[in-house]
């Protein structure tokens, strides 16, 4: 166990050096640019109507997922040969994966802080949250989505044999996340089941709950013209209750954990003969 | 067809060592070098191995080297010899039947009741892996209950072996008076009689305990153990030991898209000695890479590969770190520095059991040895091909690797870089390591290689076979060529003279005598 922890620490330091030498800090700049673009477009109409707020959250969640995946999707697959060599010399795959997960925790923390800060510039967030101030709840949600997506990128990168394969898989994964968010389409049957393993669905659920999307204070656009028009079918996942928020956070963490396990298993399987 | 008779000098006897434990004397190491006689040390004795004990006869027995193995025969001595605890019976007036010796076999000259040893009893342990130059110490267990073993200076049995943990294991006496060894969760494990133990194991007299590179022989009331040479000590080429014994019957590999396995290699038998710098030659499809994968344990061959005195496949988890491979492709990270790449490899391999100072010292030694001092702060991506290979060798050498395998390390390099790399690799063998190289430019540094392995694909069974194993001058004579690169031309069917089967059969006949 001590050796695993020690190796994790060695690889975290190595990740930091590579981050600097490869100028990977550009991913933080990219995150800032994406956040700026998204927030500047959706910011004005947020918290005015139900549709605009929901669409705004959808855009922010999509940006968070993109930022997270893009951090890590090519990182593991480009050093498969190195991993094989190091595994043979005593590297623990779990230490290697955990070093990336832990190092990316800090990168994602910075990226989600930038995303949140830019959101705060363009969006006038209500102050009341469910269990803590709303800004803190939004920040935690965005951070978990960015970090979770980053870990999903690690998983894809572990399974993919080359960076090309990983980059080919990326659009499919992104489309799946967007389609399964429950914003663009109504999910029923098998699609509802699949949606349960996407960060977009749980990210939307958390943001929608904190913003209380079911509240009458966020009317339909049509209600602004025809005040007698009211929403009849409310969406349970957006109820402003603590259970919704905590379940959403919990599910994001659970999916991330499954991604970590799949990453470790796939790399061990790939190197089984070494 | 060349009808000239070519003189081919067969390989000399395999080096082997006899460890002799005489009453009240230090452990004595005797190098076996072909046939040798054993007798009492008296004036006028003509015995090659003289033993100072009253119960040893003047002409007690003899070691015979035949069929690539050592044998022992008792010459009808008065008190006889015990072979692994069994009395060697006399079959005629010339003595007993000659018995083939394998690593760890114990010869004992004693009284008939072995449980009450004679005060002048003598024990001899046969090994092909004990190094004659190593010092051995005796540690008396009488009056003790627990003896810690490890690198820690406070341990009862304090080891100098770099790959042993600080507190590696301990010996503990049980209620019934027997001793057991307990592994204290060491990094590299403990093996008893060539098998890795799971936690603890009760010991019997003459059990051989292996901790990293240290052998400890349990004698019931004492332990004898060796002091491992450091990798900065120069190897004595006259007293080398067998590092690896390869006995491959065949290697079968499942190919992509096929259900069954295909045999790729057959009948490879050879001994690799400490300090060998081996060139592996062969045409395409001759099984060079398959051979390397079998040595690495990535393909499990039918047969046995002994690393020292332990079976590689049976103890793979414990031994796999001793064989390092430098692949054709780069296995370093382009954007890390030379120093950090090597340091991380050291930390990763040696973490938990070595102080930062020890690891730092180890890294500095390797950097110096691989002549990377001036490049230590360079990024890997800024190095030349040869410099990158040196870094990769340094990574492999940072642990306790005994054998380095390099798959075409010189491909894509210019002549000067190729020679420079080969000289560097040769320097790795000077302290006893073994380097095996597949190269398509063998003549650049032909004089550096101590041995050549030639693999050739037979047309009769479409499988790779050993067509030659020996030194460079003999290889040139055997194939009747002037340059090593011409050997491949001689054996290749495609684009060559297609004489593979001729040389396979000729070498097999030579090997069998």
| DSSP 3-state of B47 | coil
B331·A85 Cβ contact <8 A: yes
The residue with greater pLDDT, A98 or B253, is A98
pLDDT grade, residue A269 (50/70/90)?
Answer: very high
In the prediction, which pLDDT does B494 show? 78
How many contiguous H segments (helices) and E segments (strands) does chain B have?
Answer: 9, 34
Encoding tokens for residue A182? 């429950």
A90·B395 Cβ contact <8 A: no
- In the predicted model, is pLDDT for residue B238 greater than 70? no
Give dist(CA B156, CA A137) in Å, integer. Answer: 60
Question: Taking Cα atoms as reference points, which of A35, A236, A212, A198 lies closest to residue A137?
Answer: A212
- DSSP code string of chain A: -HHHHHHHHHHHHHHHHHHHHTTTTHHHHHHHHHHHHHHHHHGGGTTTSHHHHHHHHHHHHHHHHHHHHHHHTTTTGGGHHHHHHHHHTT--HHHHHHHHHHHHHHHHHHHHHHHHHHHHHH----S--SSS-HHHHHHHHHHHHHHHHHHHHHHHHHH-SSHHHHHHHHHHHHHHHHHTTSSSS---THHHHHHTT-HHHHHHHHHHHHHTTTSTTS--HHHHH-TT----S--GGG-S-HHHHHHHHHHHHHHHHHHHHHHHHHHHHHTTT-
Q: What is the pLDDT of residues B128-139, one digit of tens each?
A: 877 777 788 889
What mean pLDDT comes out for the span B459-484? 91
In the prediction, which pLDDT does B98 show? 92
In the prediction, which pLDDT does B12 show? 65
Q: What does pLDDT average to over chain A?
A: 88
Q: Which of A167-176, A195-204, B394-403, B487-496 has the lowest mean pLDDT?
A: B394-403
The residue with greater pLDDT, A113 or B315, is A113
Q: Is the Cβ–Cβ distance between A253 and A144 less than 8 Å?
A: yes
State the DSSP code for B26. -
- In the predicted model, is pLDDT for residue B5 greater than 70? no
- Owner of token pair 């050498």: B397
Give dist(CA B367, CA B365) in Å, integer. Answer: 6
A89·B379 Cβ contact <8 A: no
What mean pLDDT comes out for the span B312-318? 82
The residue with greater pLDDT, B299 or B494, is B299
B352·A90 Cβ contact <8 A: no
A6·B347 Cβ contact <8 A: yes
- Domains in chain A: how many in total? 1
- In the predicted model, is pLDDT for residue B512 greater than 60? yes
Q: CA-nearest residue of chain A to B321?
A: A89
- In the predicted model, is pLDDT for residue A250 greater than 90? yes
Q: What is the pLDDT of residues A1-48, one digit of tens each?
A: 577 888 899 999 999 999 999 898 898 999 999 999 988 888 777 877
Q: CA-nearest residue of chain B to A91?
A: B348
Report percent pLDDT > 70 for chain B: 93
CB nearest to B348's CB, from A79, A91, A274: A91
What mean pLDDT comes out for the span A259-270? 96
- In the predicted model, is pLDDT for residue B163 greater than 80? no
Q: Give how far B341 is from chain A: nearest CA, Å.
A: 9
Q: Which of A246-250, B92-96, B482-486 has the lowest mean pLDDT?
A: B92-96
Q: CA-nearest residue of chain B to A8?
A: B348
Give dist(CA A118, CA B396) in Å, integer. Answer: 48
Q: Give how far B360 is from chain A: nearest CA, Å.
A: 14
Residues with Cβ within 8 Å of B176's Cβ and at least 6 positions away in sequence, in order, are none
Q: Which domain holds residue A98?
A: 2-270
Question: Which chain A residues are within 8 Å of B329, Cβ to Cβ?
Answer: 81
Distances (CA, A) of B487 to A205, B161, B406, B440, B467: 72, 42, 20, 11, 10
Q: Give how far A163 is from chain B: nearest CA, Å.
A: 15
Question: Taking Cα atoms as reference points, which of B175, B155, B163, B170 lies closest to residue B201?
Answer: B170
Encoding tokens for residue B9? 């000098």
Q: What does pLDDT average to over chain B?
A: 85
B61/A contact by beta carbon, under 8 A: no
- In the predicted model, is pLDDT for residue B1 greater than 50? no
In the prediction, which pLDDT does B469 show? 92
- Burial label, A248 (beta-carbon count in 10 A; 0-12, 13-18, 19+): buried
Q: Is the Cβ–Cβ distance between B488 and B282 less than 8 Å?
A: yes
What mean pLDDT comes out for the span A216-239? 71
B298·A79 Cβ contact <8 A: no
In the prediction, which pLDDT does A229 show? 66
CA dihedral B59, B63, B67, B68 (to 10 degrees): -160
- In the predicted model, is pLDDT for residue B444 greater than 90? no
Give dist(CA A198, CA A200) in Å, integer. Answer: 5
What mean pLDDT comes out for the span B14-24? 84
In the prediction, which pLDDT does A202 show? 93
In the prediction, which pLDDT does B233 show? 60
**In angstroms, how far is CA A260 from the centroid of its own chain?**
14
Report percent pLDDT > 90 for chain A: 55
In the prediction, which pLDDT does B241 show? 75
- DSSP code string of B396-418: HHTTT-SEEEEESTTTT--HHHH
pLDDT grade, residue A80 (50/70/90)?
Answer: very high
């Amino acid at each position: 166990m001590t050796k695993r922890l020690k190796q994790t620490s060695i690889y975290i330091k190595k990740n930091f050096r590579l981050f600097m030498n490869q100028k990977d800090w550009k991913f933080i700049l990219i995150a800032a640019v994406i956040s700026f673009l998204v927030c500047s477009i959706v910011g004005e109409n947020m918290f005015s109507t139900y549709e605009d707020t929901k669409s705004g959250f959808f855009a922010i969640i999509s940006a968070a997922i993109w930022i997270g995946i893009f951090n890590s999707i090519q990182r593991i697959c480009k050093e498969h040969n190195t991993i094989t060599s190091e595994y043979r010399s005593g590297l623990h795959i779990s230490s290697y994966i955990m070093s990336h997960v832990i190092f990316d925790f800090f990168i994602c923390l910075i990226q989600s802080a930038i995303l949140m800060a830019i959101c705060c510039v363009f969006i006038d967030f209500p102050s009341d949250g469910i269990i803590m101030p709303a800004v803190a709840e939004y920040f935690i949600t965005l951070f978990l989505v960015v970090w979770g997506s980053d870990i999903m990128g690690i998983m894809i990168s572990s399974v993919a044999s080359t960076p090309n394969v990983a980059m080919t898989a990326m659009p499919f994964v992104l489309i799946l996340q967007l389609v399964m968010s429950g914003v663009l389409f109504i999910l029923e049957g098998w699609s509802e089941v699949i949606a349960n393993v996407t960060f977009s669905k749980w990210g939307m659920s958390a943001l929608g709950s904190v913003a209380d999307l079911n509240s009458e204070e966020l009317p339909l656009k049509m209600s602004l013209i025809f005040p007698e028009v009211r929403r009849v079918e409310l969406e349970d996942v957006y109820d402003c209750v603590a259970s919704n928020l905590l379940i959403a956070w919990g599910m994001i963490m659970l999916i991330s954990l499954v991604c970590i396990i799949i990453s470790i298993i796939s790399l061990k399987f790939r190197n089984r003969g070494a | 067809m060349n009808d000239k008779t070519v003189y081919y000098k067969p390989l000399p006897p395999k080096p082997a060592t006899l460890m002799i434990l005489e009453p009240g004397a230090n452990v004595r190491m005797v190098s076996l070098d072909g046939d040798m006689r054993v007798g009492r040390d008296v004036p006028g004795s003509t015995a090659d191995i003289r033993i100072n004990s009253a119960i040893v006869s003047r002409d007690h027995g003899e070691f015979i080297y035949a069929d690539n193995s050592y044998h022992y025969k008792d010459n009808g001595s008065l008190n006889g010899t015990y072979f692994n605890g069994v009395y060697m019976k006399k079959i005629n007036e010339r003595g007993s039947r000659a018995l083939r010796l394998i690593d760890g076999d114990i010869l004992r000259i004693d009284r008939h009741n072995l449980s009450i040893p004679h005060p002048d009893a003598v024990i001899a342990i046969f090994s092909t892996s004990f190094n004659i130059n190593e010092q051995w110490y005796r540690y008396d267990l009488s009056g003790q209950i627990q003896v810690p073993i490890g690198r820690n200076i406070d341990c009862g049995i304090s080891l100098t072996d770099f790959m042993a943990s600080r507190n590696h294991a301990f010996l503990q006496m049980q209620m019934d008076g027997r001793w057991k060894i307990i592994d204290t969760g060491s990094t590299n494990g403990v093996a008893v009689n060539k098998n890795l133990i799971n936690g603890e194991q009760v010991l019997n007299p003459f059990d051989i305990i292996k901790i990293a590179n240290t052998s400890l022989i349990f004698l019931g009331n004492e332990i004898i153990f060796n002091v491992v040479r450091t990798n900065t000590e120069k190897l004595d080429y006259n007293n080398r030991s067998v590092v690896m014994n390869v006995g491959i019957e065949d290697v079968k590999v499942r190919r992509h898209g096929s259900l069954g396995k295909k045999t790729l290699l057959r009948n490879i038998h050879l001994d690799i000695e400490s300090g060998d710098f081996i060139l592996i030659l062969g045409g395409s499809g001759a099984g060079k890479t398959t051979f390397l994968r079998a040595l690495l344990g990535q393909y499990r061959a039918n047969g046995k590969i002994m690393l020292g005195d332990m079976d590689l496949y049976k103890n793979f988890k414990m031994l796999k770190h001793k064989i390092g491979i430098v692949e054709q492709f780069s296995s370093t990270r382009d954007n890390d520095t030379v120093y950090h790449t090597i340091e991380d490899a050291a930390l990763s391999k040696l973490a938990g059991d070595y102080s930062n100072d020890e690891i730092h010292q180890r890294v500095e030694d390797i950097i110096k040895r691989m002549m990377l001092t001036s490049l230590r702060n360079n990024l890997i991506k800024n190095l030349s091909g040869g410099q990158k290979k040196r870094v990769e060798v340094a990574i492999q050498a940072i642990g306790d690797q005994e054998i380095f395998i390099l798959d075409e390390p010189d491909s894509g390099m210019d002549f000067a870089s190729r020679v420079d790399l080969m000289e560097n690799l040769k320097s790795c063998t000077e302290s006893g390591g073994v380097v095996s190289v597949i190269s398509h430019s063998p003549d650049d540094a032909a004089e550096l290689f101590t041995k050549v392995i030639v693999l050739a694909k037979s047309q009769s069974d479409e499988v790779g076979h050993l067509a030659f194993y020996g030194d460079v001058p003999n290889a040139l004579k055997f194939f009747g060529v002037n340059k090593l690169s011409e050997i491949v031309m001689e054996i290749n069917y495609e684009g060559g003279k297609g004489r593979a089967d001729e040389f396979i059969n000729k070498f097999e006949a030579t090997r069998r005598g």
